Amino acid sequence: MRSAQRLAWVLLIVAGLAAGAAILGPSGRWGGVDIGATGAAIFMLSLVAGIALFATRGEQVFPDHMSVSERRAWVGLAFIAIILSSYFHEMWVLSVRGDFPDDIQDLFANRFMQKLIVPVIAWSLISHLIGSRSGGVESDERDLRLRHRADRAGDWAFTLIVIAGICVLALIPAPLLAWWLSPIVLANLLIGLLIAKSLVEHVALALAYRAGSA
């Protein structure tokens, strides 16, 4: 394993632990240290270090046998997993507190959306850097075929989740639904549905590349 690969693994583990601390311990303290804030700060630093790593030694981070699209697929999987974890945490916190905003306009001002900004920018930058370092064809018909297969897996997951949602809504008594299913809750659930679909697509794509067949 090359030094850049070792460094990438260290950064990934640090980022994962820091994201876990930021997500699970926003108000917890350990030895007088704000775990959530410290985790968030370390997570941001690891993202910056990751961008710097890809900018300087990007071609050494992944094994040589991986194509640009495969590298992007694995990076995307890591980021979408972080985004989904953050989403579930936000939904859990909001449901426990019971302070979902009433106004639909507040949707894009809530903490989850704010937390999304930096990871999405880092994801875009790293994806761009992976492509800029390749110097050749970034994707071809095999990549498109694998992407199409992953998209179909995402469509199936989307359909199954929607059917499951319909069943749940049908089984919950109407008064109970009226109590918690506000427009803003529904909007947040739909955002979660889109993130889950994207996660399934990224998992399917990464597994398809790993299997090495189209």
Tell me which residues touch other proteins (CB under 8 A): 65-70, 136-143, 212-214
For other proteins, give the closer residue by CB, 147 or 158: 147
For other proteins, give the closer residue by CB, 67 or 198: 67
Distances (CA, A) of 123 to 79, 150, 204, 209: 7, 19, 19, 20
Q: Measured from the CB of residue 19, what is the shortest distance to other proteins in angstroms?
A: 30
For other proteins, give the closer residue by CB, 103 or 141: 141
Which residue is it, tokens 């070792």? 6
For residue 92, which phi and psi values (nearest 5 degrees)?
A: -65, -45
Q: Measured from the CB of residue 143, what is the shortest distance to other proteins in angstroms?
A: 7
DSSP 191-209: HHHHHHHHHHHHHHHHHHH
Report how far residue 124's alpha carbon sits from residue 134's, in angstroms, rounded to the nearest whole number: 16
Report how far residue 118's alpha carbon sits from residue 31's, in angstroms, rounded to the nearest whole number: 28
For other proteins, give the closer residue by CB, 111 or 142: 142
Q: Measured from the CB of residue 146, what is the shortest distance to other proteins in angstroms?
A: 9
Q: Measured from the CB of residue 185, what is the shortest distance to other proteins in angstroms?
A: 44
The Cβ of residue 201 has, within 10 Å, a number of other Cβ atoms equal to 24
